[in-house]
Amino acid sequence: MINIQSLRDVFYLIVLSLSFAVIPSWILLAVSRVIGWSLKTSPQEEAADVRLGFWKNVFLGALGGFVGEVMAVAMLYPAESSWCRDMYAQGSYCDGQGPLVLILTVPLCAIIGSCTAIIWTWYSLGIRANNPWASVFSYRGRNRALNVGLVIAVQAVYWVIFAWAIYLFTRSLL
């Protein structure tokens, strides 16, 4: 039976993991707003590009951070399995302390995922609206399917490379 203490611990764990995903987004957005305000030129140029709302940027950053956290947890099992297999071949054993690397990898992946999502959103909004590489929020060209396909392909390639890097990093920490 689940008691109140364990439910409270689960709630704290959820709040902590979401804070690792959201706080870097807020910091990066605040810095980008200050830089943007200092580089502001004329009202005509400002109206030419699309601006996302603050909460949409925070949501996209938090989503990137959350996916980074999920990726850190998902890469633990393959890395630990590979490490244990190698240790078994050497005549040693796994001590069961592998999940302790999550103390480092989960916040690190949340911060990297959040910052990457914010930077990619900011960069892709700066691309001309008729270019297929433009953001899905600002694209105004004729081939919407190509735009969405490129966005999905870029994200898939990025997250595969990210997963491989996290796998290697987790494996090196074990």
Backbone angles phi, psi at 49, to 5 degrees: -105, 160
Q: Is the pLDDT of residue 15 over 60?
A: yes
Name the average pLDDT for the chain.
77
Residue 91 is predicted with a pLDDT of 79
Q: Are 161 and 116 in contact (CB under 8 A)?
A: no
Instruction: For residue range 96-126, list pLDDT tens digits in order.
Output: 777 888 889 999 999 899 888 888 888 877 7
HSE-CB for 28 with a 13 A CA cutoff = 25
Confidence class for position 148, pLDDT limits 50, 70, 90: confident
Instruction: For residue range 48-91, list pLDDT tens digits in order.
Output: 355 667 777 788 888 888 999 999 999 999 998 888 888 888 87
Average pLDDT over residues 119-145: 80
- Rg of the chain (C-alpha set): 20
Q: Output 19 or 130, whichever has higher pLDDT.
A: 130
Q: Is the pLDDT of residue 41 over 50?
A: no
Q: Where are the domains of the chain?
A: 4-42+51-173
